[in-house]
Homo-oligomer: A and B are copies of this chain.
Amino acid sequence: MTVTSRRSVLRTAALLPLALAVPAFAQAQAKKHRLLIAVSDNDPGKWNMVMNNVKNAQEDVGGVDKIDIEVVAYGPGINMLRSETPVAGHINDLLKTGVKVVGCENTMKNLKLEKSQMMSTIGYVPAAVTEIMRKQEEGWAYVRP
Contacts and interface: CB of A to CB of B under 8 A. Distances in A.
Interface of A: 1, 5-6, 9-10, 12-14, 16-18, 20, 33, 35, 37-38, 40, 45-46, 49, 52-54, 56-57, 59-61, 75-76, 106, 110, 126-130, 132-134, 136-137, 141-145
Contacts of A52: 106, 110
A128 B75 CA distance: 23
Contacts of A61: 130
Given A1-B5, A13-B10, A40-B145, A130 B56 contact: yes
Nearest to A40: B145
Given A18-B20, A59-B127, A143-B144, 20 more contacts: A6-B9, A10-B12, A10-B16, A13-B14, A17-B20, A33-B130, A33-B137, A35-B129, A49-B76, A53-B129, A54-B129, A56-B129, A57-B127, A60-B129, A60-B130, A129-B145, A132-B143, A133-B141, A133-B143, A144-B144
